[in-house]
A and B are shown apart, each in its own frame.
Chain A
Amino acid sequence: EVQLVESGGGLIQPGGSLRLSCVASGFSVSSNYMNWVRQAPGKGLEWVSVIYSGGDTFYSDSVKGRFTISRDNSRNTLYLQMNYLSAEDTAIYYCARESGVNSGFDSWGQGTLVTVSS
């Protein structure tokens, strides 16, 4: 069974850093496109970042230069290192699997809440 489980969220002060993890089971993160998507309270979905199976990474303009996506193939885990956090980064962060372009995000984790506040 395909499963994604995020962790690492919490309350963090503005300017702080946090690392989110997403443990995958039932498939290999290295063989798929792995994404982070966030949702601010009461708002819509916002794509954050992707790491392709070949290792290339891309970011939304809102997080580029502050966030870093990575994966550990041996742990089958996806990460999102978030630096210089601000209140605008407050959201539920989901990891999502994409089997290929035009395949859609077919598996999602339950999300982890990041709250940036003093």
Chain B
Amino acid sequence: SSELTQDPAVSVALGQTVRITCQGDSLRSYYASWYQQKPGQAPVLFIYGKNNRPSGIPDRFSGSRSGNTASLTITGSQAEDEAHYYCNSRDSSGYRVVFGGGTKLTVL
């Protein structure tokens, strides 16, 4: 399969921990990357590889993988974390890229 599946919406209480998941067969072979997108803005890379954060990304964001599921975990959610989150990875061919449908995170 060349699809990545994400829950459309997730909510979390302020200060609590939330996990956003991304499922797909290609994740058994390739790591997912995670992007945050806020309204009217371009996406921003938050996690790549096994569990790497670009410079400037808070350490409350972390990534993991188990089998065909990649996860983005936010430990101690903040109000500014409310956004859409997308995963992507190589598809099963290894040459093309696929995005998940995105998860809208609401911080209560």
Interface residues, chain A, with chain B CB atoms under 8 Å away: 35, 37, 44-47, 50, 56, 58-60, 94, 101-106, 108-111
Given contacts A35-B97, A45-B102, A110-B42, contact A102 B35 (CB under 8 A): no
| Contact, CB under 8 Å: A47 / B86 | no
Interface SS of chain A: strand
Given contacts A102-B49, A104-B49, contact A44 B33 (CB under 8 A): no
Tally of B interface residues using CB under 8 Å: 27
Interface residues, chain B, with chain A CB atoms under 8 Å away: 30-31, 33-35, 37, 42-45, 47-49, 54, 84, 86, 88, 90, 94-102
20 further interface pairs, Cβ-Cβ under 8 Å (given A47-B96, A103-B49, A104-B47): A37-B43, A44-B102, A45-B37, A45-B43, A45-B88, A45-B102, A47-B88, A47-B97, A50-B96, A56-B95, A59-B96, A103-B48, A104-B48, A104-B54, A104-B88, A105-B33, A105-B35, A106-B54, A108-B42, A110-B42
Q: For the complex, give the distance between the alpha carbons of A45 and B96 in Å.
A: 14
Neighbour of A102 across the interface among B30, B84, B102, CB < 8 A? B30
Q: What residue in chain A is nearest B94 (Cβ atoms)?
A: A101
Given contacts A105-B45, A106-B45, A108-B43, contact A47 B31 (CB under 8 A): no
